[in-house]
A and B are shown apart, each in its own frame.
Chain A
Amino acid sequence: KAGVTQTPRYLIKTRGQQVTLSCSPISGHRSVSWYQQTPGQGLQFLFEYFSETQRNKGNFPGRFSGRQFSNSRSEMNVSTLELGDSALYLCASSQLTNTEAFFGQGTRLTVV
Chain B
Amino acid sequence: AQSVTQLDSQVPVFEEAPVELRCNYSSSVSVYLFWYVQYPNQGLQLLLKYLSGSTLVKGINGFEAEFNKSQTSFHLRKPSVHISDTAEYFCAVTLNTGNQFYFGTGTSLTVIP
Contacts of B43 in A (CB 8 A): 4, 90, 103-106
Count chain A residues whose beta carbon lies closer than 8 angstroms to a beta carbon of B: 26
Kindly supply a per-residue 1/0 record for chain B positions 66-102, scoring 1 wherever the CB is within 8 Å of any chain A CB and 0 otherwise: 0000000000000000000000001000111111111
Q: Is the interface of A mostly helix, strand, loop or mixed?
A: strand
Known contacts A90-B43, A90-B44, A104-B43; A42/B99 CB under 8 A: no
> Total number of A-B contacts with CB less than 8 angstroms?
66
Report the 10 A-B pairs with minimum CB-CB distance, sorted nearest first.
A103-B43, A43-B103, A103-B44, A56-B100, A105-B43, A56-B98, A94-B99, A42-B105, A100-B46, A31-B99
Given contacts A90-B44, A105-B41, 18 further A-B contacts (CB under 8 A): A31-B98, A33-B100, A42-B103, A42-B104, A45-B100, A45-B101, A48-B98, A48-B99, A56-B98, A58-B100, A90-B43, A97-B98, A98-B51, A98-B95, A98-B99, A101-B44, A103-B44, A106-B43
